[in-house]
Chains A and B, each alone.
Chain A
Amino acid sequence: MTAPAKPADAVRDASPGRAGAIADGVVRSVGPIVLAFLFCGLLLLLLGRDPLAFYGNIVTAGVLRPSGLQDSITRMAPVLLIAAGLVIVFRANLWNLGTDGQFLFAAAMVAGLGPIVLAVVPGPIGWLFLMAVAMAVGAMWTVIPALLKARYGINEIITTMMMTFIGVGVANLLVKGPFKGTTMVPQTAVVPKALMLTDIPGTSIHIGVFVALAVVVIVHLALTRTSFGTRLDVLGANPRAAVHLGIDVQRLTVTAFALSGALIGLAAAVDILGIFGYMRADWNPAYGLKVVPIVFLARLNALAIVPFAIFFSIVSIGGEYAARQASLPSDFILYVVGLILIFMVITQYLSDKRARGERILPRRAAKAAADV
């Protein structure tokens, strides 16, 4: 049912003609991005903004300025972790669209407990404890949708969405209530910079980025080299076959969801402990749906997430600046990401059609082209 990369695709890509397959993969991944930016440029033109200046600003602020480049690299940490979490469920053809709720609930817990815990146990042990808390919270927030899906087959797209809205509310209640700091504005107490995740000397890039990269590698190995990964693939390809193979589908569903939520919780911990040190009420970076296309563009390959995460981080950091300069809301990234998704399924459709030896153009259009 899911269009993007099925295991069969992966096998085909690895077969002879590897260079061609890679080239095909690049076209399928980069094509949609280029088309999306083209269409976004058209909208910018329509709004009376200069698209070239806009995109130029993205590059300037996201890559060329040293501080911007460092921000882009730091932004990768949560993006990588969320994407890794999503790969796990998407492989099993399960949809976890509740990222924002899992992320914010975990972030609120870390921001609330952080100042207290780190004052007592500073350093790695404190960080690990807080990360564990965040992972537990993230995992917990997926349990109800996972159980409803596993037991009764209730559509998890809807339930994870519902849980997201609840999670955002719970996070805000926590920040405004028990975790509220001593300031007038509703926000948590602040973790002193010295107690936050260590930066690479001379930069503002914290070690959480390496944690995220390590997790991506581990997830990749788990998905490609273990029976767990294979079981996920089987479940994703055909749930009935999975049952016949003796896979405990209910348990696997819950496990996949829990792992996914845990990694999303970890993303929150890394973001709070690495960059912010506190959480403001109503803060919501809304990574959730924006990260979904990254996972599909990477064709559900955990390692392939990395280049797309770099690209996404640059666009999101540079885009904030570019949007401010053009006096537009930074939500244009939602528009771009949505377009990327749609062009991705179209590209996939066309290239599948070509692989089957069919015409890409509809018959009438092809005939018209031949007549000319």
Chain B
Amino acid sequence: MSELLTPTFLTAFVASGILAGIPLLFAALGETIAEQSGVLNVGLEGMVLSGAFAGFLGTLATGDIWVGLLLGGLVGLIVSGFMVVFCVRLGLDQIVVGISIVLTAEGATSLLHGAMFGKSYPRLDAIPELKIPFLGDIPILGGSLFTQPAPVYAALVLVAIVGWIFRRTSAGLSLRAAGERPDSLDAAGVSVVTVRTIAELTCGALAGIGGAYMAIVGAGTFVPFLTNGMGFIAIVIAMLGRGRAWGPVLGALLFGMSMSLSTALQLFGIAIPVDVVQMLPFVSVMVVLVLFTRQSRLPAALGLPYLRGAR
């Protein structure tokens, strides 16, 4: 075991944990925003998947990672638009609409991929990494945390901004009020529907960017069902984060590591069956849920449509 704990191993472990965790971070951050405003976005998986496909197409066509990420975010935003129209505006059942978004996105991406590429899976070029001066020379952390593609740093900055908005701005207050006491917010003269619309669209865009990152940087390609339940894990992370912006960072890193543990071990010739590898993140989610159930705290009006005058 001791020879496992070499700098090379740890560097690879942390680096691949971050690689797997960043899409989760984006998606979970988006879901946190949506949940805080009272929208339970079950369709997150569908938004991540559509974003992944769009991002892959964007980068494949232009060779530019930023175009891919932008396109992924845009498509995620469009998909979340369905959630806005049906659930936020018309007050339809968030769970049924969410499930239908997941199904439709899975079917549509698979169909489009099949029609465009058939059985071939074109690969994207590797993404250049940005090594931060000085910090990048620290052992282990330097080669992993501080030598990452630029979007990773952007994600962390984003978390700080969202945290600031949550805590320090009136927009953040309105957001949380929309999730806890929508009627009070309405009485205070702020439109619940507008707040939730903005929150949900932001969530969709972030989920799309997360998916695009997963396809462009993580996988370097797109295969149907690429996300394989990642959106659902992001929902759990958002739930356990208790509405704090830093929650997703911790959760994403934890689950990213659990996904990458097997990859890192394989580097050392320790073979773990691929099924165990795929199960591991879900097992850790269940373990965390069972252990920390009481940690999760959800907004009071989560999942309930807000219709003026309706009780």
Contact = CB atoms under 8 A, between A and B. Distances in A.
A335 B279 contact: no
Interface of A: 1-4, 43, 47-49, 95, 97, 144, 148, 152, 154-155, 157-159, 161-163, 165-166, 169-170, 172-173, 176, 289-290, 292, 296, 327-329, 331-339, 341-342, 344-346, 349
Given A3-B96, A47-B111, A144 B101 contact: no
- Majority-rule SS of B interface residues: helix
A148 to B, nearest CB: 7
Contacts of A1: 93, 95, 303-304
Contacts of A339: 100, 104
A172 B275 contact: yes
B224 to A, nearest CB: 7
Given A328-B114, A335-B103, A346 B86 contact: yes
Nearest to B42: A157
Contact of A329 (B224, B228, B232): B224
B86 A158 contact: no
Interface centre among A154, A170, A349 (most CB of B within 10 A): A154
Contacts of B107: 331-338
A2 B96 contact: yes
Contacts of B239: 155, 158
B198 to A, nearest CB: 22
A158 B290 contact: no
Contact of B276 (A148, A154, A169): A169
B97 interface: yes
Chain A interface SS verdict (over half):
helix
29 contacts: A1-B303, A1-B304, A2-B96, A43-B111, A47-B115, A95-B95, A144-B290, A152-B293, A157-B95, A158-B239, A162-B236, A163-B282, A165-B279, A166-B282, A289-B99, A290-B103, A296-B96, A328-B115, A331-B110, A332-B110, A334-B110, A335-B111, A336-B107, A337-B103, A338-B103, A341-B97, A342-B100, A345-B96, A346-B86
Q: Which of B42, B111, B112, B283 has the most CB of A within 10 A?
A: B111
B158 interface: no
Interface of B: 40, 42, 82, 86, 90, 92-93, 95-97, 99-108, 110-115, 118, 224, 228-229, 232-233, 235-236, 239, 273, 275-276, 278-279, 282-283, 285-286, 289-290, 293-294, 296, 298, 303-304
A161 B115 CA distance: 29
Nearest to B105: A338
A79 to B, nearest CB: 16
A289 B236 contact: no
Sort A-B residue pairs by CB-CB distance and give the 9 closest, nearest first: A335-B107, A338-B103, A338-B104, A334-B107, A169-B279, A341-B100, A331-B110, A3-B93, A165-B282
A331 B101 contact: no
Contact of A341 (B40, B96, B229, B232): B96
B71 to A, nearest CB: 18
A162 B286 contact: yes
Contact of B93 (A2, A97, A155, A337): A2
Contacts of A337: 103, 107
B250 to A, nearest CB: 18
Given A148-B289, A346-B92, 12 more contacts: A2-B96, A157-B42, A162-B285, A166-B279, A166-B282, A170-B275, A170-B279, A173-B275, A329-B224, A331-B110, A331-B114, A334-B106
Nearest to B296: A154
B108 A335 contact: yes
A199 B94 CA distance: 43
A130 B153 CA distance: 54
B287 to A, nearest CB: 10
Contacts of B273: 173, 176
A49 to B, nearest CB: 8
A285 B101 CA distance: 20
Contacts of A48: 115
A156 B298 CA distance: 14
Contact of A154 (B228, B275, B293): B293
A304 B82 CA distance: 29
B45 to A, nearest CB: 9
Contact of B102 (A2, A158, A289, A333): A289
Given A3-B96, A155-B239, A159-B289, A329 B110 contact: yes
A144 B96 contact: no
B115 A144 contact: no
A296 to B, nearest CB: 7
B111 A159 contact: no
A166 B99 CA distance: 20
Contacts of A349: 90, 92
A331 B224 contact: yes
Contact of A158 (B110, B236, B276): B236
Contacts of A173: 273, 275-276
Output the residue of A159, A289, A342 with the most chain B CB within 10 A.
Answer: A342
B278 A335 contact: no
A329 B279 contact: no
A3 B104 contact: no
A59 B99 CA distance: 27
Given A47-B112, A47-B115, A161 B103 contact: no
Interface centre among A95, A162, A332, A346 (most CB of B within 10 A): A162
Contacts of A292: 99
B69 to A, nearest CB: 25
B111 A328 contact: yes
Most A CB contacts (10 A, CB to CB) among B93, B273, B276, B278 go to: B93
Contacts of A152: 293-294
A32 B108 CA distance: 18
A339 B104 CA distance: 6
Given A144-B286, A165-B278, A165-B282, A345 B103 contact: no
A20 to B, nearest CB: 25
Contact of A334 (B104, B118, B283): B104
Contacts of A166: 279, 282-283, 286
Contacts of B289: 148, 154, 159, 162
Contacts of A336: 107
A239 to B, nearest CB: 14
